Amino acid sequence: MSRPPAKVRADQLKPYRAKRDFERTPEPAGEVSGAGEGALCFVVQKHDATRLHYDFRLELDGVMLSWAVPRGPSFDPQDKRMAVQVEAHPISYNQFEGVIPAGQYGAGRVIIWDRGTWAPVGDPHQGLAEGKLVFTLHGQKLAGRWELVRIAKKDDERDVHGDRPAGKREKQVPWILFKKRDAHARPRAEYDVVSALPDSVVAKPLPPADAAPLPGRGGGLVDESGAARAPGELSGAKRAPLPDKLPPQLATAATALPARGDWLFEVKLDGYRVMTRIQSGQPALITRGGHDWTAKMPAIAAALRALKLHSAWLDGEVVVFGDDGLPSFNALQNAFDHRRSESIVYLLFDLPYLDGWDLRAVPLRERRALLAQLLQRANDDDAHDGKLRFSAAIDADPASLLQSARQLRLEGLMAKRADAPYVSRRSETWLKLKTRQRQEFVVGGFTDRGGARNAAEIGSLLLGVHDERGKLIPVGSVGTGWDGRSAAELKATLVTLERKGSPFAGDAAPPGGRWSRRNAGLERWVEPQLVAEVSFADWTPDEQIRHATFEGLRADKPAAQVRREVVRMVGDRKAAPAANDVDAPNGRQRTQVKVSHPERVIDPSSGLTKLDLVRYYESVADWILPHLKGRPCSLVRGPEGVTGELFFQKHAEQLRIPELKSLDPALWPGHQALLEVPSARALAGAAQMNVIEFHTWNAQVRDIAHPDRVIFDIDPGEGVGWPRVVEAALLVRGLLEELGLKAWLKTSGGKGLHVVVPLAPKHDWDTVKDFSQAVVQHLARVIPNRFVAKSGPANRIGKIFVDYLRNSHGATTATAYSARSRPGLGVSMPIAWEQLSEVKSGAHWTIADAREHLSFVSEDPWQGYWKSRQTLARALKRLGAGG
């Protein structure tokens, strides 16, 4: 739909400006804009005011019409979300991220949670007047058709921000925002977009400081709406005749992304790869195997003709969306088998040739911008009835996207170099990261259900792949993934291909001597012509697939081309992680472990469960791992939760956690091997094994004899209020600054605060401990009514003990972002010193809201910590001189 005519009024921003002092707030004053060109924009800003809410804004008539949505949007059509209409904002507000200062309207932090374009269904002015606005969103998180419905005819008093005094509340109109039922809708139980993708779509750095920038970050991912450009204006475009053939570019299966480069991320589609050749306006739909399937998809062909292109090559994938709104490979097969092609949708993602111009040397970002432009024009004219769609890139942390893809049971993600050309071969500029291993296999035989030869259904398919010499090698079998009708149809097809001897090279069975324990010796062989798509958990050491599920037969790929898919490490990485763990950029990992007894409440005071704890650690892996990697770690386990027995575990003993590392016993002679938590898989696996807290040493494994930090644990005694704890932290910082040392701060997750001083690893343990003890003794001597230098509850009643014992050899402290095994499950959260006045306790954040807090963190509050290399020489001298 084209942009509706604007009804611009110069006074539309008066309420907005009246509420703000633009000399104090960084928000833009803005102007009412003219009609403009192109698509209308929308933005959703996450606003941490007195009450957290989401500001939903739609461009219309030169301003952003705005609604405050307390719980945020939901893809579940059954979720009717309150949306209180507030004052219109300037269009320039779309770029605002920052902090609205205290005392100003809406004081708090604001991030850009989502943004994109929107298209009204019908006349939006009429919809607003009648209280029923239907529209389509094309965002980085939100998509599909939505509706806003006004639920009160009269103005209703609503206090969105919670910061207006009684008697001065503005009358605001309540609406309801909800998702319409379409291909994008899905139950919140399966996918909650607010919790799955809590962060800003504007890139932000994460620790550690020595990590390379995230792919696509810095300049951000390409804006694929793009200004209108002709093909010949693109860099690398060449005049050339329409190629007769153009094989597709293929992706490399990968367990990791390279640490450098500008990458686009798309959802990996569960369908058939199809190239389209258009000559003189007539399309030909060509499969990966070179077969012309135009006649099989007449509706798609008609939609392509409606594009009115003279000549082109388009690249994409045909899919069918199932009842759950997700691409369904089985539904796609049924659409072809039963001639129901009207349900097929063609998702397009590349444009290697257009109207006399060869675009293969053009950077991907420019090819995709041109493709998006073509499809948007057709969409505005309703030329293709939704049969053709653009496979949009998603601007978000790919590791979080992959975790969401797992939750949605999607295949995975595609990663593509934004500056790469189009090449008709398998390349490492296109990568596929799968949530579960999946590939094609050749069907070389089958067994009957229950071993009965006259059974109507098959029992299992016997699978293989071709080796380098073209021989068919057995890789195992699959016996699940079909219903009764599909099993009968499979058997009927296979019987027509039956042969006497095995088509497999060498022995007829895989290693171990038999295909199936139940049907050993009852195998029936077929000509190796059928190709089955199969998902599976992993490859065994003897190269057999494990825990396989049949996804469907493929008719778009010849059996002779089926090889074992090689999963590559990309870039300069040396060792691959486990098969079901996927690395994110910069070595950041994401994994989602299966949680036993997920419903078990581990904190009765809050109702938080074991599942909540595991998912918390998965969600903060990027933040916590820099504090865990390379350090000996002790684990606090609580099998019965925080109210049961807790115990420290410093050695592996009988504990079996994937990727949990046992260190060299020589690091601590006379003791068992210490532990390290080096990866997201180990972190989540430990939480699954009832680990609540992670405590680390003050030295790294590479130089265990020399600590690289000093920690002062500000531990209040009985009767000490929180303001005194804050005062103590500031006093410790002041003393350290006098000694020439910079310090960083974090909450303890319990009652107090941790002041942390990074060091160059030059001093031995005794020196560091003696220094910390001297600091504490000095405080106790100079301010005896505040501090005490002796540990023990009886010695610190009404006073604060700054615990220096954390700096002894073998001692540990709860690491940053660790949960604490106390009622409430508080989190040890790094903060800037400037934030201290806002913190209300040492457990200000818990596992229930810590990740939400981090979504508003624009930069690592310890950014300078990672580069600091201080020594104690000067401080020891000054402290000694001070007596």
- Please count the other Cβ atoms lying within 10 Å of the Cβ belonging to residue 470: 9
Per-residue CA distances from 69 to 47, 72, 159, 176, 855 (Å): 10, 5, 12, 9, 17
Give the pLDDT mean for 62-88: 94
Q: What percent of the chain has pLDDT over 90?
A: 54
Least confident of 199-213, 786-800, 838-852: 199-213
Least confident of 106-110, 335-339, 620-624: 335-339
Please determine, for residue 8, whether its predicted confidence score (pLDDT) is greater than 70: no
Please determine, for residue 245, whether its predicted confidence score (pLDDT) is greater than 80: yes
Residue 855 lies in a domain: no
Please determine, for residue 510, whether its predicted confidence score (pLDDT) is greater than 80: no
CB 276 within 8 A of CB 300: no
Give the pLDDT mean for 192-202: 83
Name the residue with tokens 């309207």. Answer: 105
- Examine the domain organization and report whether 263 and 404 are in the same domain: yes
679-696: pLDDT as tens digits: 998 999 999 999 999 999
- Examine the domain organization and report whether 347 and 404 are in the same domain: yes
Active site residue 268: yes
Please determine, for residue 158, whether its predicted confidence score (pLDDT) is greater than 70: no
Q: Which residue has the higher pLDDT, 508 or 736?
A: 736
CB 68 within 8 A of CB 173: no
Chain centroid to CA 390: how far?
21
Check residue 197 and give its pLDDT: 81
Of 762, 634, 772, 637, the residue nearest 697 (C-alpha): 634
Residue 586 lies in a domain: no
527-546: pLDDT as tens digits: 999 999 998 877 777 788 88
- Examine the domain organization and report whether 552 and 653 are in the same domain: no
- Please count the other Cβ atoms lying within 10 Å of the Cβ belonging to residue 340: 12
- Examine the domain organization and report whether 173 and 289 are in the same domain: no
Gyration radius (Cα) of the chain, Å: 31
- Please count the other Cβ atoms lying within 10 Å of the Cβ belonging to residue 597: 11
- Examine the domain organization and report whether 445 and 415 are in the same domain: no
* C-alpha count within 13 angstroms, C-beta hemisphere, residue 597: 12
Please determine, for residue 750, whether its predicted confidence score (pLDDT) is greater than 50: yes
Per-residue CA distances from 516 to 216, 479, 487, 502, 642 (Å): 47, 10, 17, 15, 47
Check residue 284 and give its pLDDT: 96
Check residue 556 and give its pLDDT: 79
Q: What percent of the chain has pLDDT over 70?
A: 83
Instruction: Using DSSP, state whether 99 is helix, strand or coil.
Output: strand
Please determine, for residue 577, whether its predicted confidence score (pLDDT) is greater than 70: no
Residue 691 lies in a domain: yes
Check residue 435 and give its pLDDT: 67
Residue 599 lies in a domain: yes
State how beta strands 171-179 and 143-150 pair. antiparallel
Check residue 656 and give its pLDDT: 82
SS3 string of 826-838?
Answer: EECCEECHHHHHH
What range defines the domain where residue 779 resides? 709-811+862-881
Q: How confident is the model at residue 209 (pLDDT cuts 50, 70, 90)?
A: very low
Q: Which residue has the higher pLDDT, 404 or 40?
A: 40
State how far the Cα of 871 lies from the Cα of 767, in Å rounded to an integer.
11
Q: How confident is the model at residue 795 (pLDDT cuts 50, 70, 90)?
A: confident
Check residue 2 and give its pLDDT: 61
Which of 46, 141, 179, 268 does the annotation list as catalytic? 268
Q: How confident is the model at residue 571 (pLDDT cuts 50, 70, 90)?
A: very low
Range from 412-421, 735-744, 851-860 that averages highest in pLDDT: 735-744
- Please count the other Cβ atoms lying within 10 Å of the Cβ belonging to residue 144: 17
Q: How confident is the model at residue 576 (pLDDT cuts 50, 70, 90)?
A: very low
Check residue 811 and give its pLDDT: 95
Check residue 837 and give its pLDDT: 92
74-84: pLDDT as tens digits: 999 999 999 99
Residue 79 lies in a domain: yes
* Residue that terminates a domain, selected from 152, 181, 196: 196
Residue 138 lies in a domain: yes
CB 474 within 8 A of CB 500: no
For 792, the token pair is: 């023990």
CA pseudo-torsion sign 184, 185, 187, 193:
positive
Please determine, for residue 825, whether its predicted confidence score (pLDDT) is greater than 90: yes
Residue 413 phi, psi (nearest 5)? -125, 150
Q: Which residue has the higher pLDDT, 314 or 335?
A: 314
CA pseudo-torsion sign 517, 519, 525, 531:
negative
Residue 822 lies in a domain: no
Per-residue CA distances from 2 to 122, 124, 682, 689 (Å): 11, 12, 52, 56
Please determine, for residue 259, whether its predicted confidence score (pLDDT) is greater than 80: no
- Examine the domain organization and report whether 807 and 661 are in the same domain: no
Check residue 219 and give its pLDDT: 31
- Examine the domain organization and report whether 430 and 445 are in the same domain: no
Please determine, for residue 278, whether its predicted confidence score (pLDDT) is greater than 50: yes
Name the residue with tokens 């444009």. Answer: 351
Query: Which CATH number do you get for residue 378?
Result: 3.30.470.30
Q: What is the mean pLDDT of the chain?
A: 84
Give the pLDDT mean for 424-434: 85
**CA dihedral angle for residue 470, residue 471, residue 474, residue 475, rounded to 10 degrees:** -20
State how far the Cα of 292 lies from the Cα of 314, in Å rounded to an integer.
14
Looking at this protein, which amino acid is placed at residue 848?
A
Q: What is the DSSP letter of 344?
A: -
Query: Which CATH number do you get for residue 648?
Result: 3.90.920.10
- Examine the domain organization and report whether 380 and 448 are in the same domain: no
Residues paired with 357 in a beta bridge: 239, 354
CB 309 within 8 A of CB 353: no
Residue 828 lies in a domain: no
Range from 134-138, 380-384, 409-413 that averages highest in pLDDT: 134-138
Residues in the chain: 883
- Examine the domain organization and report whether 310 and 350 are in the same domain: yes
For 440, the token pair is: 């094609």
CA pseudo-torsion sign 203, 256, 693, 869:
negative
* Residue that terminates a domain, selected from 181, 196, 211: 196
Please determine, for residue 182, whether its predicted confidence score (pLDDT) is greater than 50: yes
- Examine the domain organization and report whether 117 and 45 are in the same domain: yes
Please determine, for residue 218, whether its predicted confidence score (pLDDT) is greater than 90: no
State how far the Cα of 552 lies from the Cα of 299, in Å rounded to an integer.
23
* Residue that terminates a domain, selected from 645, 662, 696: 696
Residues paired with 56 in a beta bridge: 44, 67
Domain count, the chain: 5
State how far the Cα of 477 lies from the Cα of 534, in Å rounded to an integer.
10
- Examine the domain organization and report whether 186 and 137 are in the same domain: yes
Q: What's the count of helices (H) and strands (E) in the chain, helices before strands?
A: 15, 46
Check residue 643 and give its pLDDT: 93
761-784: pLDDT as tens digits: 999 999 999 999 999 999 999 999
- Examine the domain organization and report whether 633 and 724 are in the same domain: no
Check residue 882 and give its pLDDT: 46
Q: How confident is the model at residue 401 (pLDDT cuts 50, 70, 90)?
A: low
Q: Which residue has the higher pLDDT, 520 or 334?
A: 334
453-500: pLDDT as tens digits: 667 888 899 999 998 888 999 999 999 888 888 888 899 999 999 999
- For 88, the enclosing helix (H) or strand (E) is strand 81-90
Per-residue CA distances from 723 to 189, 371, 751, 775 (Å): 42, 59, 12, 21
DSSP string across 496-519: TTEESS--SSSSSS-TTS-S-STT
State how far the Cα of 194 lies from the Cα of 849, in Å rounded to an integer.
13
The helix, strand and coil proportions of the chain, stated in percent and rounded to the nearest 5, come to 20, 30, 50
**CA dihedral angle for residue 734, residue 755, residue 758, residue 706, rounded to 10 degrees:** 120
Check residue 526 and give its pLDDT: 95
Give the pLDDT mean for 408-437: 82
Q: How confident is the model at residue 208 (pLDDT cuts 50, 70, 90)?
A: low
